Amino acid sequence: QVQLVQSGAEVKKSGASVKVSCKASGYTFTGYYFHWVRQAPGQGLEWMGRINPNSGGADYAQNFQGRVTLTRDKSIGTAYMELSGLRSDDTAVYFCARGVSGYDWDYFDYWGQGTLVTVSS
Amino acid sequence: SSELTQDPAVSVALGQTVRITCQGDSLRRYYASWYQQKPGQAPVLVIYGKNNRPSGIPDRFSGSNSGNTTSLTITGAQAEDEADYYCDSRDSSGNHWVFGGGTKLTVL
């Protein structure tokens, strides 16, 4: 069965970086994009970016340009999201999700369990 | 515009029908998907494309589209449907995605 398992909770200081992993299993790793979505406490979902696990090419939301880097390691079927220059408003749960796309439709059919990143000053 | 707009909160009586809407310019070009999220859990896909339900999603969930508006309808709402619902689609660039602000559904 398809599973996305994320790394554990992190506590970071302002200005630091955090790297969250998302290990995929149960399907061909290179067959689907990985998307990253975050959710601040009590807030809605916010799309951060996506990575093509085959080529490594990525697209980033404008709000995160220059601060977020998406990578992957095909050899171990794992995608990563690194966010730098952490601020208190980066405190959120970060999700990875598998993306399925067609000509004019898309969806995220499997999600990781989420990783809480807490940024303290 | 890259925004998707949802009503913040909607309520429905148990067993009745409720429609949750999502508006945005990108919906004229791209189909949205809909996610249900309960407290402390990851979102779950409930509707995608024109009106498709993933395996395991009850058939009381359905979707429709008209112009710049997409709708999620729950016919015969159940207590377990109480949750936050989010729409999502590509934005006008085609390479970025955007979520609506979410709708909190209360089943009375």
If phi > 0 it is left, if psi is from -120 to 50 it is alpha, else beta; for residue A85 that is: left
* pLDDT tens sequence across A82-92: 999 999 999 99
**Closest CB to A47 among B48, B97, B101:** B97
pLDDT at B2 (0 to 100) = 61
A17, A84 contact by CB (below 8 A): yes
Contact A108 B102 (CB under 8 A): no
Tokens found for residue B84: 């936050």
Hunting for tokens 């992190």 — which residue is that?
A10
* pLDDT tens sequence across B63-105: 999 999 999 999 999 999 999 999 999 998 889 999 999 999 9
Which is nearest to B51 in space by CA: B68, B19, B26, B73?
Answer: B73
**Closest CB to B86 among A44, A61, A114:** A44
Average pLDDT over residues B8-27: 97
Average pLDDT over residues A110-120: 98
Can you spell out the DSSP letters for B35-83?
Answer: EEE-TTS--EEEEBTTTB--TTS-TTEEEEEETTEEEEEESS--GGG-E
When the pLDDT of each residue in chain B is averaged and rounded to a whole number, the result is: 96
Share of chain B above pLDDT 90, in %: 94
pLDDT at B1 (0 to 100) = 47
A68, A83 contact by CB (below 8 A): yes
* pLDDT tens sequence across A10-54: 999 999 999 999 999 999 999 999 999 999 999 999 999 999 999
Closest residue, chain B, to A6 (C-alpha) = B42
Which is nearest to B19 in space by CA: B79, B70, B88, B84?
Answer: B70
Which is nearest to A73 in space by CA: A45, A96, A53, A48?
Answer: A53
Q: Which positions ≥6 away from A101 have C-beta within 8 Å?
A: A33
